[in-house]
Amino acid sequence: MMRRLLPTLAALVLGLAGLGVGLGYLHRIFTAEREDARATLQARREALEQYARASLGQALHEGLEGARAILQAAKADPLMAAPGLYLREKEEQLLPRLALFDTAGDAPAKERYVRLRAGTETAEEDEGPWRERLERMALVERALATKDRRATLLALRALLDHRARFLLASTRDLPSLLVVLEDVAARGDAVPDLMRALVRDGLLEGHGAGRMEGLQRLLLLKRSRLTREDFDFLRGRVTELSTRVGAPVADFEARSRELAASALPLPGDLPEPVLVRSGWYLEPVAEGDTRGMTLDLPGLMEGLTREMRERGLLEADGRVTLLGDAPVMALTSLPVVVESSTWARGEAALESRYRLKSLMLTLCAALALTIAALAFVAQHRKYRFLELKSDFVATVSHELRTPLASIRLLAETLEWRVAEGADAKDYPARIIREADALGFLVENLLSFNRIDKGRWVPKLAPVRLDELVSGLRRDLEASAPMPVELTADVDTRELNADAQLLRLLLANLARNACAYNERSPVRLHVATLPRGRVRFTDNGTGIPRAEWERVFGEFHRLSGQGGREVPGSGLGLALCRRIARLHGGALRVADSSPEGTTFELTLPEYPPGERNPA
C-alpha cells in the first residue's frame, strides 16, 4: 500500500518546497508594510470614533433644544405633561414633579372642609382675613338660597376679589374655595364658562395683578403645603367637581399620579453636558441649573450605527457601542468605540502578513497530511471493498455449493438404494430440506437486493401476529435440522405490515437462533408488548455486548461457540433491520447473555376501526 502512495507523497514534497520559496519572498514584503498599514488603520478608526462622538452630542443637544418650549411650559403649568424631561433650578428638582407633601401627621385641610360643610368653622379675633372670607362665603350661601342668579354672581365676585387681596394658608384657601364652588355647581345657575375657569383654566385678575389659578392647577401648585391625606382627599373632591362642571380631568388625574416620592439620583452642578448610564442626558444652564431628557441609550447607539451605515462609513456588520461601566460620562470624552469587521479583518491581515511564512508552512503541512490521509483512506476502502466482495462471493458460493452437493449426493444415494431395493423413505425429505435451505438463501439475497435498491414497496395490510407465529412453527418443523420448541405469548392484535416481509424477518431470526445454538432442543419464544412491540427470545450462545449493533451490518458474521465457523451469508440480521425500517419501525438487541438473546421489534399497529366490515 505504501508503494502506491509514494507518487502522491513525492508530489506533496515538491509542492511544499515551492511554497517555501514563495513564502520567503512574501515575508520580506509584508514585514515592511506591516507598521504602515497598522498606523493607517488606527487613524481611520479614531476618525470614525470622533465623528460618532460629535454626531451623538449634536443629536442630543438638538433634541433637548427641541424640548425647550415644553420644559418652560411645563415649569409654569402643572397640568402640562413633560414625559422624559428633567429640570433642576436653584438646587430643586422641578421636573419630573415631586410630591413634596407636608410630613405632619394630621389632615388640617380635610378637617376644615368637614367643619365648613357642617357650618361649625369659626375665626379667632386676630384672624380678620379669615373671618372676612367666612362672611363672604355666607353671602354666597344666602344668594344661592334665594336662587337669585345676579346676587349669586355678585357674591361670588366679592369672594374672588377678597381672595385676590388676601393670601390665606392653603389649608384654608383650598377647602373654602372648594366648598363654595361645589355649592354653586350643585344649587346655583352660574355661567358654565366661569365655573370651568374657576375649576381648571383660571381667571385673569383685574388691574394687571396677575392670574388666579383654577382649582386643579392650584392644588398641584400648593401640594407642598398639604399632607398626603389632605392632597388625596382634595384631589378626589376636585375630580368630582370637574366632572360635574364639564372640565377636563384626565390630565389632572395623570399629573397627580405622576408625582414622584423622591428626587432622581442625578448629578448637579455640571461643568459640561453628560450622559448618565441609567438613561439621562443632562446639560448645564445658567447659574448652576440643569436641564435634561431621558434617552434610550441602546436605541441611540443603534440609530447612530444606522446613520453611519447609510453614509457608507460602516459596513453592514459594523456597530457603535459605549465601553466601560462609569455611571456618568462627559459628552466630550465619551468612550465611543466603532466596532467593524473591517478592523478585525485589517488586524487579522496585519497579523497574517507578519506571520505568513510560518502560517503558510503550517497550512501546507496540514494540507499534505490531509491529502495523504485521504489517499490512505481511499486505498484502504478500496482494498476493504475488494476483500468484502471476495468474501461474499466465497461465502455465497460455499452456501450454494453445500446444499447442491447434498442434493446431488442424496439423489445418487436414493437412485442406488432404489436400484438395490433398499429402504430410502427419508431421502426425499432430506432433499426437500436442502432445497428449502437453498431457496431461503436465494430469497434472502434477492430480498436484500430489492430493498437495498428501493424496489420493494411494502403492501401494508392488517397482519395477525398469532397467524405469523403458527406459520413459523410449521416452517421450522419442516426445515429445521434440529428439534425446535416455539412458544408464544401473543394476543390477537394486528400489525400494519407486509405479511411476506414479516414472515421473512421472523424466519431469519429463527434460523439464526438455530445456527448459533448448542442446545437441544432449540427454544424460541415470541411475546407481544404494548405500543406495537414484539420480543423474540432464544436460548442460543448469546451476542457479546460490543457486537449488539454491529451484528446488523452487511456481511458481518459472528463465530460460533469455540470459534467454530457458522454457515450463513452475513445478510440475515441486516435484512431483518431493513425490513423493520421499511415499515417505519425498528429492530434492536434488547438483551443477550450466554443463556440466550432477546430481539425487540417495533412495528406500527393496525389502527382499530379501519377494517372494512364487508
Residue pLDDT, tens place only, 19-33: 667 656 666 676 777
Q: Which of 1-10, 108-117, 341-350 has the lowest mean pLDDT?
A: 1-10
CATH number for position 524: 3.30.565.10
Last residue of a domain, one of 411, 429, 447: 429
Q: What is the DSSP string of 347-376?
A: HHHHHHHHTHHHHHHHHHHHHHHHHHHHHH
**pLDDT band (50, 70, 90) for residue 52:** confident
- Are 463 and 546 part of one and the same domain? yes
| Per-residue CA distances from 51 to 48, 58, 264, 596 (Å) | 5, 11, 31, 80
Residues 523, 538: contact at Cβ < 8 Å?
yes
Q: Which residue has the cell 370651568?
A: 196
In 3-state terms, what secondary structure has residue 460? coil
The listed range with the strongest mean pLDDT (54-63, 230-239, 316-325) is: 230-239
| Per-residue CA distances from 611 to 251, 424, 463, 468 (Å) | 72, 50, 12, 19
Higher pLDDT, 208 or 572: 572
Give the torsion sign (CA, 585, 602, 595, 476).
negative
Which amino acid is located at 564 in the chain? R
- Are 250 and 182 part of one and the same domain? yes
CA angle 267, 271, 277 (to 5 degrees): 40
Phi and psi at residue 191, in whole multiples of 5°?
-70, 125
Report if residue 224 sits inside a domain: yes
CA atoms within 13 A on the CB side of 339: 9
- Are 466 and 412 part of one and the same domain? no
Mean of per-residue pLDDT scores for the chain: 80
Distance from C-alpha of 140 to C-alpha of 163, rounded to nearest angstrom: 14
- Are 119 and 247 part of one and the same domain? yes
* Mean pLDDT of the region 276-294: 86
What confidence score (pLDDT) does residue 248 get?
A: 92
Last residue of a domain, one of 429, 444, 479: 429
Q: Which of 137-146, 289-298, 345-354 has the lowest mean pLDDT?
A: 345-354
- Are 245 and 155 part of one and the same domain? yes
Higher pLDDT, 600 or 394: 600
Q: How many CB atoms lie within 10 A of CB 440?
A: 18
Residues 502, 567: contact at Cβ < 8 Å?
no
Report if residue 323 sits inside a domain: no
Last residue of a domain, one of 226, 258, 290: 258
What confidence score (pLDDT) does residue 614 get?
A: 37
- Are 113 and 151 part of one and the same domain? yes
Q: How many CB atoms lie within 10 A of CB 260?
A: 13
Report if residue 375 sits inside a domain: yes
Q: Tens digits of per-residue pLDDT, 303-353?
A: 888 988 888 888 888 888 888 788 888 888 888 888 888 777 777 877 776
What confidence score (pLDDT) does residue 392 get?
A: 56
**pLDDT band (50, 70, 90) for residue 233:** very high
Distance from C-alpha of 408 to C-alpha of 75, rounded to nearest angstrom: 117
β-sheet bridge partners, residue 485: 523
Q: Tens digits of per-residue pLDDT, 154-191?
A: 988 999 889 888 889 999 999 999 999 999 888 766 67
- Are 519 and 462 part of one and the same domain? yes
Beta-carbon contacts of 402 under 8 Å, excluding residues fewer than 6 positions away, are 567
Domain count, the chain: 3
Distance from C-alpha of 505 to C-alpha of 485, rounded to nearest angstrom: 18
Distance from C-alpha of 396 to C-alpha of 567, rounded to nearest angstrom: 10
- Are 409 and 513 part of one and the same domain? no
* Strand pairing report for 484-489 and 522-529: parallel
Chain-centroid distance of CA 445 in Å reads 50
Report if residue 447 sits inside a domain: no
Residues 442, 451: contact at Cβ < 8 Å?
no
CA atoms within 13 A on the CB side of 100: 15
Distance from C-alpha of 285 to C-alpha of 139, rounded to nearest angstrom: 50
The listed range with the strongest mean pLDDT (49-53, 133-137, 578-582) is: 133-137
- In the sheet with 533-538, reading across from the earlier edge strand, the strands are 484-489, 522-529, 533-538, 596-602, 586-593
- Are 462 and 375 part of one and the same domain? no
- Are 363 and 242 part of one and the same domain? no
Distance from C-alpha of 195 to C-alpha of 511, rounded to nearest angstrom: 106
Residues 105, 167: contact at Cβ < 8 Å?
no
Residues 552, 573: contact at Cβ < 8 Å?
yes
Report if residue 594 sits inside a domain: yes
In 3-state terms, what secondary structure has residue 462? strand
Residue 399 has pLDDT above 70, yes or no: no
Query: Do you know the residue count of the chain?
Result: 614
Distance from C-alpha of 356 to C-alpha of 361, rounded to nearest angstrom: 8
In 3-state terms, what secondary structure has residue 147? coil
Residues 133, 121: contact at Cβ < 8 Å?
no
From the list 484, 506, 485, the residue with the least C-alpha distance to 495 is 506
Q: What is the DSSP string of 77-145?
A: -TTS--TTEEEEETTEEEESPB---B--SS-HHHHHHHHHHHT-----TT-HHHHHHHHHHHHHHHHHH
Report if residue 19 sits inside a domain: no
- Are 361 and 486 part of one and the same domain? no
- Are 409 and 486 part of one and the same domain? no
* Mean pLDDT of the region 269-281: 86
Chain-centroid distance of CA 324 in Å reads 28
* Mean pLDDT of the region 402-429: 61
CA dihedral 222, 224, 229, 235 (to 10 degrees): 30
CA atoms within 13 A on the CB side of 2: 0
β-sheet bridge partners, residue 293: 85, 281
**pLDDT band (50, 70, 90) for residue 105:** confident
Eight-class DSSP state of 545: G
What confidence score (pLDDT) does residue 494 get?
A: 82
Residues 95, 85: contact at Cβ < 8 Å?
yes
ω before 521 within 30° of 0 (cis)?
Answer: yes
What confidence score (pLDDT) does residue 385 get?
A: 52
Distance from C-alpha of 121 to C-alpha of 401, rounded to nearest angstrom: 128
Domain that holds residue 376: 356-429
Residues 469, 537: contact at Cβ < 8 Å?
no
Residues 543, 551: contact at Cβ < 8 Å?
yes
Residues 597, 590: contact at Cβ < 8 Å?
no
β-sheet bridge partners, residue 598: 537, 591
Report if residue 313 sits inside a domain: no
- In the sheet with 92-95, reading across from the earlier edge strand, the strands are 92-95, 85-89, 290-294, 280-284, 274-276, 328-330
Distance from C-alpha of 527 to C-alpha of 93, rounded to nearest angstrom: 84
Residue 494 parent element (H or E): strand 494-497
% of the chain beyond a pLDDT of 70: 76
Report if residue 178 sits inside a domain: yes
Which amino acid is located at 547 in the chain? E
